[in-house]
Structure 1
């Protein structure tokens, strides 16, 4: 049951008294990447830098900034990396296309391996000398395709 409750690192001292403003702060910090953890949002991270960013977001909201202005303020200082969903532009196009490229490359590899596996084996005629050697070893030659029983 505890696994379905989202883990937030917000401490009681950070929570704003106004529930609507606190909800706005949580929404904003949920979209910002922790620069220390790199795979967690600022809202979920226990890192001290994430705490500083949570406090900064709440301070900017108290100053009367809109959600977009707060995000832009943080983005201007920390760059595209601070956003969990960076903007699509030439500098971030690889971030957006990498999952699709990886999926396509994996599919191509599986298709290629399956195609090679289905290709019929090349048959080769045995020479007379090879037939004699097989006969000396006692191997039966069901056909001349080169696929003798051993």
Structure 2
């Protein structure tokens, strides 16, 4: 336990090497063997990959993820682009295969509008409930001792005295 509380005693170069190792593992999500020879197609593939969710990690794009499924999706996107698909066609192909959940930014059309609107609507409903509660509380009559009978008053005094 005390070892965890001690300050860093390593050399600055060790810390720097550890930082570079951490950055390198994050940056190497797209493997060199996946990169297309055509820079324009590779840029399109990266653009598409940045908008697709890794189904394993769920909070990363397939461009950032090291999961094998993310690699398969990156390769599939590149295959579709090499085959001549437009960006929209490649994305539509992936969505048709894996569902709309694969999109990091789902569309707002169809029944999805309900999901997009649910947050603000629930916030407004909670705000209205809070306003009604505060208004009722402000207009409520304060509790007084006048409503107590003699026995209740004596019991209250005993409790307050201690």
TM-score, with structure 1 as normaliser = 0.69
Q: Does 1:45 align with 2:26?
A: no
Q: Does 1:91 align with 2:123?
A: no
* Distance 1:95-1:51 versus aligned 2 partners, 3 A rule: farther
Mapped partners of 1:107, 1:10: distance in 2? 46
Which secondary structure does the structure 1 equivalent of 2:146 belong to? coil
Q: Does 1:11 align with 2:26?
A: no
TM-score, with structure 2 as normaliser = 0.65
Aligned-pair CA distance for 1:117: 5.7
Aligned-pair CA distance for 1:108: 4.2
Considering only aligned residues, what root-mean-square deviation do their CA atoms show, in Å? 3.6
Task: Name the structure where helix makes up a greater proportion of residues.
Answer: 2
* Count of residue pairs the alignment pairs up: 139
Deviations 1:101-142 (A, max 9, x none): 3433553455456556645533351556259737x75x8xxx
Alignment match, 2:14: none
More moved, 8-17 vs 75-84: 8-17
Structure 1 unaligned runs (5+)? 140-148
Alignment match, 2:94: 74
Structure 2 unaligned runs (5+)? 1-18, 21-25
* Distance 1:131-1:61 versus aligned 2 partners, 3 A rule: closer
Alignment match, 2:154: 133
Alignment match, 1:100: 120
More moved, 16-25 vs 110-119: 110-119
Alignment match, 1:122: 143
Aligned-pair CA distance for 1:17: 2.2
